[in-house]
């Protein structure tokens, strides 16, 4: 038996080799594939879109917030992978009754590296996890050198409309904004607060308004609607996966961020 402590402090006991994995977190599904574990994945969510073929070759077990628990049972997983933010406490508890369940909790790049190391231990792929971490460290160092020459800009990062919601503090998106030398005008608010557009100038008056591609499909009319309440802020549509997905997606994210700064 092997016991590992997951990222929310729970002890996860592993009684047998982990050959059947259900992943309820899109970014972690992508990480598993990049760790060479695709053949061990038996179930994914409908939001697991990377790699593009994954949903066509694996069983889909619902969404991240609405899982099909009976289908997961039928898959007879050796382990189920969850995330504190993506999945509810009730989902984690239901999964625990089926198989050992590991919960990640990601706020910083250090948390990402810790998760990759844990997966290396759990799935006996230490060489692959070390390789990804080394690449990630190289990309991070290169980006930090690049960003040191970029001026700080005040930003608002929108994730939803009706009601208007933004990224506040205490989440991975805010950490990524900080790495980009963006000052989040809503960094004094917790998590993902609802805001009033008419107060955006009073609450920080951003130079940049970033409209995420997920979870809400923002369009030009939404950019115009927000722009009416700012003082000549530039609105930029951004790839939400690059700001909110962790794991191996970050190997592509830092090149994307360089391109983003060059166009703003």
Q: What is the pLDDT of residue 184?
A: 98
pTM of the shown model: 0.95
Mean pLDDT for each 10-residue chunk of the chain (264 residues)? 94 94 98 98 97 97 97 98 97 98 98 98 97 98 96 97 97 98 98 97 97 96 96 96 96 97 93
Structural domain boundaries in the chain: 2-138, 150-263
Q: What is the CATH number of domain 150-263?
A: 3.40.50.1980
Q: What is the pLDDT of residue 169?
A: 97
Q: Do domains 2-138 and 150-263 have the same CATH topology?
A: yes
Q: What is the pLDDT of residue 65?
A: 96
195-201 contact pairs (CB < 8 A, 24+):
195/164, 195/165, 195/166, 196/164, 197/164, 197/225, 197/226, 197/229, 198/229, 200/156, 200/226, 200/229, 200/230, 201/229, 201/230, 201/231
Q: What is the pLDDT of residue 1?
A: 82
Q: What is the CATH number of domain 2-138?
A: 3.40.50.1980
Q: What is the pLDDT of residue 255?
A: 97
Q: What is the pLDDT of residue 2?
A: 87
């Amino acid at each position: 038996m092997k016991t590992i402590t997951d990222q929310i402090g729970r002890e996860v006991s592993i009684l047998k080799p982990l050959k059947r994995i259900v992943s309820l977190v899109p970014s972690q599904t992508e990480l598993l594939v990049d760790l060479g574990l695709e053949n061990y994945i038996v179930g994914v969510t409908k939001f697991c879109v990377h790699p593009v073929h994954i949903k066509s070759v694996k069983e889909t077990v619902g969404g991240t917030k609405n899982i099909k628990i009976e289908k997961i049972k039928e898959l007879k997983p050796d382990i189920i992978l969850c995330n504190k933010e993506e999945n509810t406490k009730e989902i984690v508890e239901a999964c625990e009754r089926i198989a050992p369940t590991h919960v990640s909790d990601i706020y910083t790049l250090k948390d990402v590296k810790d998760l990759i190391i844990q997966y290396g231990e759990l799935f006996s792929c230490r060489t692959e996890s070390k390789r990804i971490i080394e690449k990630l460290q190289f990309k991070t160092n290169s980006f930090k050198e690049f960003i040191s020459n970029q001026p700080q800009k005040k930003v608002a990062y929108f994730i939803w409309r009706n009601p208007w919601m933004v990224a506040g503090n205490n989440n991975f998106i805010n950490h990524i904004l900080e790495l980009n030398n963006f000052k989040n005008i809503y960094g004094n608010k917790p998590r993902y607060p609802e805001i009033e557009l008419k107060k955006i100038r009073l609450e920080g008056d951003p130079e940049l308004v970033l409209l995420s591609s997920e979870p809400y499909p923002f369009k030009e009319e939404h950019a115009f609607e927000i722009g009416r309440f700012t003082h000549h802020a530039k609105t930029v549509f951004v790839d939400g996966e690059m700001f909110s997905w962790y794991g191996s997606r970050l190997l592509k994210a830092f090149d994307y961020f360089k391109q983003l700064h060059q166009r703003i």
